[in-house]
């Protein structure tokens, strides 16, 4: 699948509106339209990569920038003291619905244990 045709690609190209909270040359971050927590921001690389599984060694610096951007956003928004969660869904069974690599930053309330069924 061509990841530049996803909804995230359309947001990057400004074809679809989004509540953008961060952007630089390599990344964009915007509020999720169906939040799972009081703060739910998606961090997306502008380079089209379908999933974490599709990432290559050449993407290592970009992946690091993605993580650091999420952490910096959490700090600047006052979320780091109480804590936040960063999630990457990889594939349909993990809940990935948009096949463009992205991080979910979740915060703003106690999130409870992760992975319980």
Number of domains in the chain: 1
39 inside domain: yes
Task: Supply the pLDDT for residue 113.
Answer: 80
CATH number at residue 71: 3.30.428.10
- pLDDT band at 102, cuts 50/70/90? very high
Q: Is residue 113 one of the residues assigned to a domain?
A: no
Domain-located, residue 77: yes
In a domain, 117, yes or no: no
Question: What HEC string does the chain produce?
Answer: CCHHHCHHHHHHCCCCCCCEEEECCCEEEEECCCCCCCEEEEEEECCCCCCHHHCCHHHHHHHHHHHHHHHHHHHHCCCCCCCEEEECCCCHHHCCCCCCCCEEEEECCCCCCCCCC
Q: What mean pLDDT comes out for the span 8-14?
A: 95
Q: For residue 103, is it within any domain?
A: yes
Containing structural domain, residue 87: 3-107
The answer to whether 102 is a known catalytic residue is yes
| Domain presence at residue 114 | no
For residue 1, what pLDDT band results from cuts at 50, 70 and 90? very low
The answer to whether residue 15 is domain-embedded is yes
Of 86 and 4, more confident: 86
Look at residue 4 and tell me whether its pLDDT is greater than 90.
Answer: no
Which is the catalytic residue, given 40, 59, 102, 104?
102
Q: What is the mean pLDDT of the chain?
A: 93
Residue 115 resides in a domain = no
């Amino acid at each position: 699948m061509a990841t530049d045709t996803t909804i995230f690609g359309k947001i990057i190209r400004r074809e679809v509106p989004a509540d953008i909270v961060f952007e630089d040359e390599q990344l964009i971050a915007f509020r999720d339209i169906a939040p799972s927590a009081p703060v739910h921001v998606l961090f997306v690389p502008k380079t089209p990569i379908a999933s974490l599984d599709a990432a290559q060694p050449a993407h290592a610096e970009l992946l690091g920038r993605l993580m650091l951007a999420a952490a910096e956003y959490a700090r600047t928004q006052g979320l780091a003291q109480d804590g936040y969660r960063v999630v990457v869904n990889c594939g349909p069974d993990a809940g990935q619905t948009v096949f463009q690599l992205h991080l979910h930053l979740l915060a703003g309330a106690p999130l409870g244990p992760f992975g319980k069924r």
